[in-house]
Amino acid sequence: MFIGRPQSRIDGPMKVCGRATYISDVDLPNMLYAMVVCNTIAAGRVTSLEFAAAQAMPGVRLILHRGNIGKLYRIPGNSFDDGFVDDQRPPFEDDVIRYYGQYVACVIANTFEAANAAVHAVKVGYEVASHDVSDELGVHEKLDVHSERGDAATAFDQAAVKIDQTYATPVETHNPIELHATVVHWNGDSYTFYETSQAVTNYRGTLQQMLGVPKEKVRVISRYLGSGFGGKLWIWPHSLLAGMATKQTGQPVKLVVSRKMMFQNVGHRPTTEQRVRLGATKDDKLVSDVGTARLSESCGHRQQLFRGLRRSHAASLQRKESTRDRRHREAQRRFAHRDVRTRRGARPVRARIRDERACRRAQYRSGGTASAQRAEGR
């Protein structure tokens, strides 16, 4: 029995004494080093790629690009059972540039220094297209309705206590201490990936589909993780590049993403804006919940769970891909619920407990979590 007794983390001494082997610390015999060439425009397409000078540099073994990377596949559809990925496009799938820093080539060399020098020798030509960096979040665009019950707008207009607020968040990146990294070896029959992964089974399912090999031919190892905040739940293009590099060279390959690339190439949460309108009675009961979100990340999911609320409306507009993030996706809606509790004269803690229980009961009825099932019995 360990409840009530202090316990040391099993991996604690290894980490604080520097004996833990993180992925970038993994060294295999005859290992090669890979570095990627990132584009330098926000939108457009690649028109030329000059790599002869880089290929001729000492220690350079291979330069992967669209013409020689080989066949990679898109997964048929995201599934938590078979594989889930945020960036479904395989690297070098086409010449289109969709964001600043997108990979356009990959250098593999005998040493890290040789790979780094060769990356800077690759010359890329572009056709630049217009891009949008404004703060305008599409206020005139039509929103997608996710759920609707009753006449929420009328109930809001007739409510005794109201709140109508807009909550916004800026762009956020994960950027844990440990950089994303991959060490992979192809032994002629199967892959062994050493990955900075929060979900090794998901990595395995996604890699086998995108590489086009049976699942039993892919092994994923992640012994220690220097945090991830949700950004290491899915594979990113550098893992596939390392996989194709080891297959073509026949030697293990290590690829470590740079700190700069952590802001560009491994997901983020885009700007969000939510307008929340809540209506309540004077005796502390919600009667209306109208929410609209722009560039959202499932911001209205919690709203849909209040099954006891007979009048609600949730809609959103999402124009940019968003990655799972440790910070709660619906924190802004929680702010609105706190504010309306204060305005309706309720004791905030007691009101929150009641509302949370109602939400958890709804989760339980829809096949939710064990904690929601416990709430149902209270």
Residue that finishes a domain, picked among 242, 263, 284: 263
* In a shared domain, residues 213 and 343: no
Let me know if residue 8 belongs to a domain: no
Poorest-pLDDT segment among 153-157, 203-207, 365-369? 365-369
- Which helix (H) or strand (E) covers residue 376, if one does? helix 370-376
Write out the two tokens for 184. Answer: 């992979």
* In a shared domain, residues 211 and 126: yes
Q: Per-residue pLDDT averaged across 292-296, rounded?
A: 61
Q: Is the pLDDT of residue 281 over 90?
A: no
Q: Is the pLDDT of residue 318 over 60?
A: no
* Domain CATH for 117: 3.30.365.10
Q: Is the pLDDT of residue 360 over 90?
A: no
Q: Which residue has the higher pLDDT, 53 or 153?
A: 53
Let me know if residue 25 belongs to a domain: no
* pLDDT above 90 as % of the chain: 52
Residue ranges of alpha helices (H) inside 111-270 are 112-119, 152-158, 200-211, 237-249
| 257 within 8 A of 267, measured Cβ to Cβ | no
Residue that finishes a domain, picked among 197, 230, 263: 263
Residue that finishes a domain, picked among 203, 236, 263: 263
262 DSSP assignment: G
Determine the structural domain holding residue 113 and report its residue range.
30-130+179-263
pLDDT at 305: 43
pLDDT at 273: 79
Q: Is the pLDDT of residue 26 over 50?
A: yes
Poorest-pLDDT segment among 40-49, 88-97, 143-152, 320-329? 320-329
* In a shared domain, residues 66 and 187: yes
For 116-146, the pLDDT digits (tens) are 999 999 999 999 999 877 766 665 667 778 7
Let me know if residue 1 belongs to a domain: no
Let me know if residue 14 belongs to a domain: no
**Cα maximum dimension of the chain:** 78
* In a shared domain, residues 194 and 341: no
* In a shared domain, residues 311 and 183: no
Confidence of residue 317 (pLDDT cuts 50, 70, 90): low
Confidence of residue 294 (pLDDT cuts 50, 70, 90): low
Q: Is the pLDDT of residue 339 over 90?
A: no
Q: In the chain, how many domains are there?
A: 2
* In a shared domain, residues 108 and 198: yes
Q: What is the pTM of this model?
A: 0.83
Write out the two tokens for 40. Answer: 């330098």
* In a shared domain, residues 236 and 329: no
* In a shared domain, residues 205 and 279: no
pLDDT at 195: 98
